[in-house]
């Protein structure tokens, strides 16, 4: 076995000469074998080894005995050893985590810290091929995509260190045989036989059943994991490129995508781009991804200009003509806004609902462009009657339109002009009495036009607050 581990270390470049290595040692056969193998390679690679035993304080005297066992063995074999006590229950309670997740977080944190203190670039763990098989099957049972089937990587970054798993291509039985052959002692964790944990049920029930159907089943799963890892990495890279290509902009709360750019992508990349965004923004439960992803895809591909899908928590995804908006909080209500303020003429009127200001100026000469904000309209002041107000849109609003006899529904104007819904909802309506004068940013009415006879000009400007 030692030769195969050395070959794995060489092929995947897990160690370099002079490496500092922190080894996670629980005291079970896997980590004791790993410690023993690395000790045998210490001179060859000129390694500085440090054993780290994380004491989870969950199993009472048993756990104390594990810690003492590891410390004793290390002392006898000249390996520096640290025992780190972590409070799993407190951490789980504080962050509302399951005990297993909490223990894992604290264990990896302790290893990272030990690596930093020891100035070690590598953290070695004793995961083996059967752990890989169990991990892939657990993910399959819980629900996963191709990425989940990639299982445990043989090496990856962990903080500023590199986490390595030199035993990943070795079977559990080989490790036990190695321990027996080399007189490596170990302690067994009684909880490994409890069917309360999914991993144990997979190990005790599922793997034996499937191995009975194909004795080479474990190898087949490890191969699948290896293939899936590379394909997942490739797809992820293509998806990140595609996301950059489809991204219109990032907002404070989310992102805005080019809807057509998304829909034109191959199906696999559409799904991965949406997943990237959802996993970044809001969804952290992989088994809930699929339904959301498909809903967002349908929303984007639909021929309706506007639609909305609620994701997790306060997150939603909205289509609005040519964009797909991922955002948080209540999507602006279409009906909810209702306000009406008299306009100060001359003067400035704040519309807090919209975060904008309407400025009115009355002049006896036309103004130049440079004197005006980008969003403005001008009226013959003398021809206006009724109080000037700014108000929210109301159902049934109608307005006169240049070149058209009579009135047109504001709703139809907005549709014809393809005004995005998020603009419509935040659009002020400016009136003289009941008569709509101006839909800023959309259309001016045919009311009170400026002519050669105009003597008093009413300039209105809309400015959005920064």
Which of 216, 304, 365, 455 contacts a second copy by CB under 8 A? 216
Pick out residues in 411-440 that bind a second copy (CB under 8 A).
Answer: none
What CA dihedral angle connects 28, 30, 36 and 42, to 10 degrees? -130
Task: Give CA–CA dist 457/361, Å, rounded.
Answer: 8
Residue 233 is a binding residue for a second copy (CB under 8 A): yes
Q: Is 37 exposed, middle or buried (CB count within 10 Å of its CB: 0-12, 13-18, 19+)?
A: buried
Q: Which of 58, 71, 84, 210 binds a second copy (CB under 8 A)?
A: 210
Q: Is 342 exposed, middle or buried (0-12, 13-18, 19+ CB in 10 A)?
A: exposed
318: closest CA among 303, 333, 334, 300? 300
Q: Which helix (H) or strand (E) holds 328?
A: strand 323-328
Instruction: Give the one residue of 93, 173, 188, 234 binding a second copy; rule: CB under 8 A.
Output: 234
Question: Looking at beta carbons only, is 199 or 408 nearer to a second copy?
Answer: 199
**194 assigned ligand-binding residue:** no
In which residue are the tokens 């087949």 written? Answer: 220
Which of 80, 119, 143, 313 touches a second copy (CB under 8 A)?
143
On the question of a cis peptide bond just before residue 346, with omega within 30 degrees of 0, the verdict is yes
Q: Does 204 bind a second copy (CB under 8 A)?
A: no
Q: Is 48 annotated as a binding residue?
A: no
Burial of 35 (0-12, 13-18, 19+ CB in 10 A): buried
Q: Which residue lies nearer to a second copy by CB, 179 or 225?
A: 225
CA distance 350 to 341: 9
Q: CB 285 → a second copy: shortest distance, Å?
A: 13
Nearest distance, CB of residue 410 and a second copy, angstroms = 36
Binders in 247-266 for a second copy, by CB under 8 A = 266
Our finding on whether 154 is near a second copy (CB under 8 A) is no
Examine residue 196 and tell whether it contacts a second copy (CB under 8 A): no
Q: Nearest distance from residue 326's CB to a second copy, in Å?
A: 21
- Contact indicator for 401, 408 with CB cutoff of 8 Å: yes
The DSSP symbol for 150 reads T
- State how far the Cα of 91 lies from the Cα of 78, in Å rounded to an integer: 33
- From candidates 65, 90, 177, 230, binder to a second copy by CB under 8 A: 230
Please select the residue that binds a second copy; options are 231, 258, 380, 463, rule is CB under 8 A. 231
Q: Indicate which single residue of 93, 177, 220, 362 sits in contact with a second copy (rule: CB under 8 A).
A: 220
Report the C-alpha gap between 76 and 82 in whole angstroms: 14
Question: Which residues are registered as beta bridge partners of 431?
Answer: 389, 436
290 near a second copy, judged by CB under 8 A? yes
> Least CB distance from residue 283 to a second copy, whole Å?
15
27 annotated binding-site participant: yes
- Residue 320 marked in a binding site: no
Site stretch for a second copy (CB under 8 A), options 165-173, 203-211, 248-256, 412-420:
203-211
Sheet holding 20-24, edge to edge: 81-85, 48-55, 20-24, 122-124, 161-164, 155-158
Least distance to a second copy from the beta carbon of 143, Å? 3
Which residues participate in the annotated binding site? 26-31
Site for a second copy, rule CB under 8 A: 140-146, 149, 198, 201-202, 205-206, 209-210, 213-214, 216-217, 219-221, 223-224, 226-228, 230-231, 233-235, 237, 266-269, 271, 287, 290
Which residues participate in the annotated binding site for ATP? 26-31
């Amino acid at each position: 076995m030692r030769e195969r581990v050395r070959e794995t270390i060489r092929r995947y470049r897990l160690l370099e000469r002079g490496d500092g290595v922190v080894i996670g040692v629980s005291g079970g056969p896997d980590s004791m074998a790993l410690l023993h193998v690395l000790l045998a390679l210490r001179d060859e690679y000129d390694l500085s080894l440090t054993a780290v035993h994380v004491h989870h304080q969950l199993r009472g005297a048993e756990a104390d005995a594990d810690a003492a066992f590891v410390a004793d063995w290390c002392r006898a074999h000249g390996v520096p050893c640290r025992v780190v006590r972590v409070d799993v229950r407190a951490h789980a309670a504080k962050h509302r985590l399951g005990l297993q997740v909490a223990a894992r977080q604290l264990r990896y944190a302790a290893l990272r810290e030990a690596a930093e203190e020891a100035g070690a670039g590598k953290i070695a763990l004793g995961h083996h091929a059967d752990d890989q098989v169990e991990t892939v099957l657990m993910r399959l049972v819980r629900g996963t995509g191709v990425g989940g089937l990639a299982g445990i990587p043989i090496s990856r970054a962990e903080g500023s260190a590199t986490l390595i798993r030199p035993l990943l291509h070795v079977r559990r039985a080989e490790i036990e045989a190695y321990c027996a052959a080399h007189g490596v002692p170990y302690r067994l964790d009684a909880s490994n036989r409890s069917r309360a944990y999914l991993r144990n049920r997979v190990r005790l029930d599922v793997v034996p059943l499937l191995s009975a159907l194909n004795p080479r089943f474990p190898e087949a799963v490890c191969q699948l994991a290896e293939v899936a890892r590379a394909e997942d990495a490739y797809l992820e890279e293509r998806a990140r490129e595609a996301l950059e290509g489809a991204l219109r902009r990032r907002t404070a709360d989310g992102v805005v995508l080019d809807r057509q750019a998304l829909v034109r992508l191959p199906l696999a990349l559409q799904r991965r781009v949406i997943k990237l965004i959802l996993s970044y923004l809001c969804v952290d439960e992989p088994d809930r991804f699929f339904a959301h992803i498909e809903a967002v895809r349908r929303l984007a591909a639909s021929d309706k200009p506007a639609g909305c899908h609620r994701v997790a928590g306060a997150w939603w995804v909205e289509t609005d003509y040519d964009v797909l908006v991922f955002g948080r909080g209540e999507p602006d209500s279409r009906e909810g806004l209702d306000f009406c303020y008299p306009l100060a003429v001359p003067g400035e009127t704040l519309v807090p609902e919209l975060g904008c200001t309407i400025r009115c100026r009355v002049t006896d000469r036309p103004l130049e462009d440079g004197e005006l904000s980008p969003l403005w309209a001008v009226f013959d002041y003398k021809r206006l009657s009724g109080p000037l107000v700014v108000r929210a849109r109301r159902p049934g609003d109608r307005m006169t339109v240049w070149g058209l006899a009579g009135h047109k529904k504001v709703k139809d104007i907005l549709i014809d002009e393809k005004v995005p819904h998020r603009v419509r909802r935040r659009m002020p309506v400016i009136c003289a009495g009941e008569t709509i004068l101006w839909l800023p940013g959309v259309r001016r009415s045919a009311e009170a036009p400026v002519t050669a006879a105009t003597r008093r000009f009413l300039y209105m400007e809309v400015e959005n607050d920064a």
